[in-house]
Amino acid sequence: MAMFAWKPEYSVNIKEIDDQHKQLVAMVNELHEAMTQKKGKEVLGPILAKLINYTATHFAAEEKLMQQHGYPDYDKHKAKHEKMVQKVLALQNDYKGGKITMTFEVSKFLQDWLNKHILGTDKQYSAFLNDKGVS
Average pLDDT over residues 5-10: 90
pTM recorded for the entire structure:
0.84
Instruction: Check pLDDT > 70 for residue 69.
Output: yes
Average pLDDT over residues 38-64: 85
Q: Where are the domains of the chain?
A: 19-31+43-130
Q: What is the mean pLDDT of the chain?
A: 87
d(CA 132, CA 61) in angstroms, rounded, equals: 16
Instruction: Check pLDDT > 90 for residue 14.
Output: yes
CATH pick for 19-31+43-130 out of 1.10.10.10, 1.20.120.50, 3.30.365.10, 3.40.50.720: 1.20.120.50
Confidence of residue 60 (pLDDT cuts 50, 70, 90): very high
Q: What is the pLDDT of residue 129?
A: 95
- As a residue count, the chain comes to 135
d(CA 123, CA 63) in angstroms, rounded, equals: 14
Nearest CA among 80, 106, 96 for reference residue 27: 106
Instruction: Check pLDDT > 90 for residue 12.
Output: yes
What are the C-alpha distances in Å from 50 to residues 42, 60, 69, 125?
14, 15, 29, 25
Instruction: Check pLDDT > 80 for residue 102.
Output: no
d(CA 127, CA 2) in angstroms, rounded, equals: 28
